Amino acid sequence: MQRIDAIHHVSLIVADTERALGFYRDLLGLEVDPGRPELGYPGAWLRIGDQQIHLLELPNPDPVEARPAHGGRDRHLAMTVADLDAIAALLKTAGVGYSMSRSGRRALFTRDPDANALELIEQA
């Protein structure tokens, strides 16, 4: 039987690539992958280890209003971090809201400027 080995990328729809890069690249420190081909619409690829986030500047078919206040109750992308307190401080300084995981794990949930939910989990 064929086996799936890893996640290659996750695509997120954004309204403005530069605004999204301000969050993902400038605030969170993700590296832009310059290998993104011309796809006929704006966007960017970001590296996270061997995986990527693809930002797609396309019309969003999903409503961004009335999403759950806590991102853990919404579709979300989960990423690991070494120091959750440092991430929380970074978000707080930037005025980006977040909520702590309700499971008791060392994790927080936040949203990017386009209301995409992100979970950041501390892993030693």
Query: Domain boundary at 35, 57, 79, which?
Result: 57
Q: What percent of the chain has pLDDT over 90?
A: 79
CATH code where residue 76 lies: 3.10.180.10
CA distance 114 to 58: 12
91 domain residue, yes or no: yes
- Per-10-residue mean pLDDT for the chain, 124 residues long? 90 97 97 96 96 96 83 92 96 96 93 95 88
pTM of the model: 0.91
Is residue 76 domain-shared with residue 100, that is, in the same domain? yes
Phi, psi for residue 92 in degrees, rounded to 5? -60, -45
The H or E element that residue 31 is part of is strand 31-33
Question: Radius of gyration of the chain from Cα atoms?
Answer: 15
Residue 109 structural domain? 71-122
Helix (H, G, I), strand (E, B) or coil at 71: helix
